[in-house]
Amino acid sequence: MKRAIILADERSPRQVNGSGHVKALAKVAGLPLIIRNLRTLHSAGIEEAVVVTGYEAQRINDALASYHVGIPVTVVHNPNWHMGSAHSILAASGWIEDQCLLVPSDHLYPPSLARRIMAAPAPVDSLVVAVDRRLTEIFDADESIKATLEGDLVTDVGMNLANPDAVCAGMIRISSYLVETLRRLLVDVEITLVDCVRAMARRHRVRSLDVRSARWISISSPQARRYADLLLQIHGDTLETVDTHGHAVLLNPGPVATTPRVKAAVGARDMCHREPVFSNLLDSVQRKLGIVFGATKEHDVMLVTTSGTGGLESAISTFVPEGRAFLVLRNGAFGERLAAIARTYGIRVVEVGLPWGAEIPIDAVERALDENPDIAACGMIHHETSMGVLNPVAEVGKLTRARGVTFIVDAVSSLGAEDLDVERDRIDVCVSSANKCLHAFSGLASVCVRREAWNTIEGSRPRNYYMDLRRYRDYMVSRRQTPFTPAVNTMMSLNAALDELMDMSLEGRREHYRKLCGRLRRGLTSLGLELLVPERASHSVTMVEVPEGMAYQEIYQGLKDRGFIVYECKGAYAGRYFQVANMGALEEIHIDEFLGALGQVLSEARQDRAAASGLHLV
């Protein structure tokens, strides 16, 4: 089945927005509904669409000619549109030779729902009607057609059913049998499409398909249109709750989900990085980053086109002078990475090494500093993401500042979400990344440097060309520029993401993370899962034990099939634990939907194990 019939024939009894009373042209998030529907059908695999027009047909024709939808569209005009949709289906009857999809133009659906209804098993002489059993959760349910059900059979439909079991979502799989039934009934009496579906239901010719968790909405009022705008803003253009063609909710610790505002900023304009407009953009980003870092006028904030790891390499290679040692405090994979970076440059590394996730003892740090007077800098991870643990940067900052040791902190996965302040915590060089808790795109590292730290490397020879931070500072101070071509569009996304953070406030963002994390961990525990939550647990990464009898890959694939990406743990925890991150532009609804999907994965796994052992679970 590769064809869809779209009904764009009606005149709305009330104005939905600036389209007047033409429902098909009502704009949601900037696009007419008819265009959104056609693009959704294209994404679902439909290869041809037939649009049936009626009221204001020319305006709809003009709209169809103004947008690219990806599939060929045939327009059929129903001159009897005022007599109802039954006549519109008859007008398109020449294209209803086999089973096809019938879609109203004033609804929004995810592509996955269209694919499911196309694939649903049913006799060729039966309709398949998408229904939603979540009666109390449907926006404007009073405006929708209701249905009563017996198993998967629809027994009755109507606007005012006394005890409905579901609401009809508007999408129907039809065939030539519907056309034959309409022609036969219209000989005797003028009927509506709903009347015809009711007649077929009473003959057991209508099957239901539960939309389950799919998001859909009928745009029948200005309030519904505003609600649709909100859904698209939160969930994206596809409204998907399941993985389709690789699109999913990211619950991995970066890159993270971004908002439509941030996505739009990436392609907002073309910009030359040597023009004043870019200097203004750079200034804006640096100023707002300074607020997030807790910087003062005695700090510099630089942006390097690289990942967070590249930012750390620039900090270590710049601020550890030749012939001096680098103290690394490590209790996880990313602490080990600091040591590996330093050794790559031939820097002598002194380590305070702990088991992954263990608390770093301050007395051991003090002892290492006292026993190694050639230590010039000390590096540690604020949020050791591999274990979801926060490390005591403030306590270490007191020790290093008192000894004149440059303190380099990896805040790649904590800046914006956790309590960190470079001035209060006595951090000399702090590195972060755009694509984690700042909610922007990948490709930019930010480095906040206390200006006194530059004095410690005066006269020191650069170790590299591109990563040397002195070059970035010189360009920033003298030209309001970066020394090399930056990721301009990523910087646009970061500027927009920082605007969103400023709108919420830094403390508001941190509180949001705390709430999401608490909701996630309570939900995981209620599913019977064991969590590894250290004493200094972060508020953005949770480690979950893989249940007995299951494999990580089984959980990962089951969640991916339902539209969620989780992350395998590193090192000795690989295969035994997985990580769920609540980083990025996520809301409580994402957490709840993830928990629902995970519950399904766990339930199916239990059923499979029971079946394999000959048991029956009820």
- Looking up residue 536, the CATH number of its domain turns out to be 3.90.1150.10
Q: Give the tens place of pLDDT for each residue, 482-503.
A: 999 999 999 999 999 999 999 9
**Does 287 lie in the same domain as 197?**
no
**Does 154 lie in the same domain as 37?**
yes
**Does 529 lie in the same domain as 500?**
no
Residue 317 maps to a domain: yes
**Does 518 lie in the same domain as 496?**
no
Mean pLDDT to the nearest integer, 208-230: 86
Question: What is the spatial distance between Cα 359 and Cα 107, in angstroms, rounded to a whole number?
Answer: 54
Q: Which amino acid is at 531?
A: L
Residue 243 maps to a domain: no
How far from 405 is each of 7, 324, 428, 506, CA to CA, in Å?
A: 71, 11, 9, 29
Residue 15, pLDDT score: 58
Residue 244 maps to a domain: no
Percentage of the chain exceeding pLDDT 90? 74
Mean pLDDT to the nearest integer, 569-584: 95
**Does 273 lie in the same domain as 221?**
no
Q: Give the tens place of pLDDT for each residue, 285-314.
A: 999 999 999 999 999 999 999 999 999 999
pLDDT at 143 over 70: yes
Mean pLDDT to the nearest integer, 236-259: 77
Q: Which amino acid is at 205?
A: R
Residue 245, pLDDT score: 46
pTM (global) more than 0.95: no
Question: What is the spatial distance between Cα 560 and Cα 386, in angstroms, rounded to a whole number?
Answer: 21
Q: Give the tens place of pLDDT for each residue, 401-410.
A: 999 999 999 9
User: Which residue bears the tokens 């006549």?
Assistant: 87
CATH number, residue 40: 3.90.550.10
Among 485, 504, 523, the domain boundary falls at 504
Q: Give the tens place of pLDDT for each residue, 549-564.
A: 999 999 999 999 888 9
Residue 596 maps to a domain: yes
Q: Give the tens place of pLDDT for each residue, 443-496.
A: 999 999 999 999 999 989 999 999 999 999 999 999 999 999 999 999 999 999
Among 483, 504, 525, the domain boundary falls at 504
pLDDT at 236 over 80: no
**Does 603 lie in the same domain as 469?**
no
Residue 47 maps to a domain: yes
pLDDT at 212 over 90: no
Among 504, 533, 549, the domain boundary falls at 504
Mean pLDDT to the nearest integer, 202-227: 88
Residue 541 Cα to chain centre, angstroms: 16
Who has greater pLDDT, 9 or 312? Answer: 312
- Write the DSSP assignment of 551-614 as a string of letters: -HHHHHHHHHHTTEE-EEPPGGGBTTEEEEE--SS--HHHHHHHHHHHHHHHHHHHHHHHHHTT
Look at the chain and report how many structural domains it folds into.
3
Residue 617 maps to a domain: no
pLDDT at 260 over 90: no
The residue range of the domain holding 305 is 262-504
CATH number, residue 485: 3.40.640.10
Percentage of the chain exceeding pLDDT 70? 96
| Token couple for 611 | 């079946």
- The answer to whether 334 touches 380, Cβ cutoff 8 Å, is no
**Does 604 lie in the same domain as 495?**
no
